[in-house]
Amino acid sequence: MTSKRWWRGAVVYQIYPRSFLDTNADGVGDLPGIVNRLGYVASLGVDAIWISPFFKSPMADFGYDIADYRDVDPLFGSLDDFDQLLAKAHALGLKVMIDQVVSHCSEAHSWFQESRENRDNPKADWFVWADAKADGAPPNNWLSLFGGVAWKWEPRRGQYYLHNFLSSQPDLNFHNPDVQAAQLDNVKFWLDRGVDGFRLDAINFCFHDAQLRDNPPKPPELRVGRGFSPDNPYAFQYHHYNNTQPENLKFLEDLRALLDRYPDIGALGEISSEDSLATTAEYCNDQRLHMGYSFELLTENCSGAYIRSTVEALEARMTEGWPCWAISNHDVQRAVTRWGGAQASDALAAQLVALVCSLRGSVCLYQGEELGLPEADVPFEALQDPYGKVFWPSFKGRDGCRTPMPWDGSDHAGFSDATPWLPVPEAHHERNVALQDVREDSVLNAVRAFLHWRKTQPVLVTGSIAFLDAPEPLLAFVREQDGLRLLVAFNLSADRIAWQPPAITAMLDVPGVTPAAVGDGALDFPPHAVAYASLA
């Protein structure tokens, strides 16, 4: 790895293009909308943007079902629009990462259209096809993340095909070297266009067990998911065979060899396996991915002990790679609601950004986190997410975190001149960018101030981390680099608490957070307060 490593310790702002800004009045955000607001993004003090899929797609899974890896869906604009986006972002000092969904594609992709026709065409072995059992049942017991069996019957071939996600998202057969070469060539297309990195969706799902062995059952007490419906039968199995296969390591090394042919590229893998921390450590090193993140901090468990145990577990296992942390994204309930409930305070919203940005690693911030947006309550009749429609009402899907960005106080919050694809909740209207921009005490200005301050603190960007014993609801650790030792402590509760820390030499005046204070030899923490202090 080169010494530049822009991604190491970077704060990456995730943009969900459908919901960012609509410039052509069709109710859906687009690439020109991103271009229009890049100045705002740069003002936050982030280092890069990650754009969720904008490729040609039937939009069954809103872009994560790709029909053409090398073109922009007209809904979002054109390749020229993307080139303008790239140029403006670079002019503002922002790196650009794009989503790559290599493990599966859309049933509308020309590869699948050809493959499904018969068993002897040039693409016949590009997808995971299997014969039925003697009784006509699917080849094995594998399940889809979106509910039900992971196999769909194709009468033209008289076979089933595998889909780990929607039935309209067939899995590619990575055991075929031609598939690997084709996906690497698609990655090269965007590298040649000038992108700075990739967020690799479901990267541990590329390979399946070639023997198609059944997954073993999981005991009821262990059927807990991360970001998934509690009654999803997907949790009933150990997923030993439908993902995270050893052959994937060689593909990651081939991918890394391609990335290393270009200067200063960063690759971030999304990893969800039976032991995601172990897989992240295995996938991230000098020969494979630069960074990895999983769903461990996207749960409802926000205790200090849980956060500590999660980070320590990855630190112990990842000896070469680099972690990346996120507490919100486009797939899970927004963090302020998930960790703070319906009445979450502004102090909590600002604290959560400070917390994830103080851990060792890079950071993904999801659009709207800087505004303290709560989860939206989207009524069933307005629901768009196919996952939510299947599991309603026990699980309302992912639309609640995907509603449009509120830019101002006008109709539809300045997102669009037309009716948005998802409604903007009233609570978001009250937290719009224009309103918060002029309020000194807003979450937006708190996050801005903190992120700009973080840039001046190398110890927070690339320093080591060591946790301290502290009672709940405290989380405390020391970041260290070049002889500087920085104590960081968070009161994760809405109660005032006191704590006796190690001997500190000075408290740091940190913008954007509720500060703890020294009193009677202890630190006094108001609700959701934070302490940054230098140690001897």
**pTM as predicted:** 0.97
- Closest-CA residue to 103 (of 266, 248, 275): 248
- Residue 322 to residue 307: CA distance in whole angstroms: 17
**SS3 category, 479:** strand
What backbone phi and psi angles, to 5 degrees, belong to 343?
-110, 35
C-beta of residue 294 within 8 angstroms of C-beta of residue 276: yes
C-beta of residue 297 within 8 angstroms of C-beta of residue 276: no
Report pLDDT for 311: 98
Structure tokens at 503: 């001997």
Report pLDDT for 244: 98
**403 DSSP assignment:** S
Report pLDDT for 376: 97
Report pLDDT for 224: 75
Catalytic residue among 270, 282, 315, 385: 270
Report pLDDT for 129: 99
Taking every pair of Cα atoms in the chain, the longest distance, rounded to a whole number of angstroms, is 80
**What is the enclosing helix (H) or strand (E) of 389?**
helix 386-391
Domains of the chain by start residue, with CATH: 11-105+175-454 (3.20.20.80), 463-535 (2.60.40.1180)
C-beta of residue 144 within 8 angstroms of C-beta of residue 166: yes
- Closest-CA residue to 100 (of 266, 228, 269, 283): 269
Report pLDDT for 420: 98
Report pLDDT for 1: 34
Give the count of alpha carbons within 13 A of 100, CB side only: 27
Whether 270 is a known active-site residue: answer yes
Structure tokens at 168: 């309209």
pLDDT tens for each residue of the chain, 536 residues long? 334 699 999 999 999 999 999 999 999 999 999 999 999 999 999 999 999 999 999 999 999 999 999 999 999 999 999 999 999 999 999 999 999 999 999 999 999 999 999 999 999 999 999 999 999 999 999 999 999 999 999 999 999 999 999 999 999 999 999 999 999 999 999 999 999 999 999 999 999 999 999 999 999 888 876 555 667 899 999 999 999 999 999 999 999 999 999 999 999 999 999 999 999 999 999 999 999 999 999 999 999 999 999 999 999 999 889 999 999 999 999 999 999 999 999 999 999 999 999 999 999 999 999 999 999 999 999 999 999 998 898 889 999 999 999 999 999 999 999 999 999 999 999 999 999 999 999 999 999 999 999 999 999 999 999 999 999 999 999 999 999 999 999 999 999 999 999 999 999 999 999 999 998 879 999 999 999 999 98
Taken as a whole, the chain contains a residue count of 536
Catalytic residue among 201, 282, 331, 385: 201
Whether 201 is a known active-site residue: answer yes
